[in-house]
Amino acid sequence: MKIILGSTSSSKEKIVQSFFSKEENLTIQLYNASSGIPEQPLDEATTIRGSINRATDAATRNANEFDFAIGMEGGLVKVGNLYYLVCVASIFTPDKRLFTGVSKKVSLPRAVSEGVDRGEEFGVAIREFEKNDSVEDVKELVQELISREKGFIEALDSAFFQYKNKKEFI
């Protein structure tokens, strides 16, 4: 199975490898695909658009020499006074079908949300929060938020559910 990943991120590559761990002869090629959106998307629609753009950009660079082109984008969504992390994965097939999955939203700590409101990047705000909080459970949450592994696995699972049941979604 050949997967084209619209990212050069080694952490996203590891997530895709983990998701497809049961596949034999798996190859993943990384491409510096354009998301076409701001570096830190602050709404779900923009995050979805970034994921789709990454998948389709990677696919168009590779003609039909892949089984799946995948785009992954993480973003923030404001609900009330807090931001929530959302992960999106899009799968583009050689027959030009698109399937997009969205993870559940995970609330960010108040201090991180306030930092984002002040214009800080999420990565900076969450790492600053981690330094200032000594509670072990919080440190685990922070690492989960930084890696986004669970969120991206959820989004990939949702997109592949649509792919496997495409007659119901096309």
Interval 67-84: pLDDT, tens: 999 999 999 999 999 999
Q: Parallel, antiparallel, or unpaired: how do β-strands 27-30 and 68-79 relate?
A: unpaired
DSSP conformational letter for 80: T
CATH among 3.40.605.10, 3.40.1190.10, 3.90.950.10, 3.40.50.300 for 2-169: 3.90.950.10
Short-list 112, 121, 18, CA closest to 72: 18
Short-list 144, 137, 151, CA closest to 105: 151
Residue pair 71/92 in contact by the 8 Å Cβ criterion:
yes
Interval 4-53: pLDDT, tens: 999 999 999 999 999 999 988 999 999 999 999 999 999 999 999 999 99
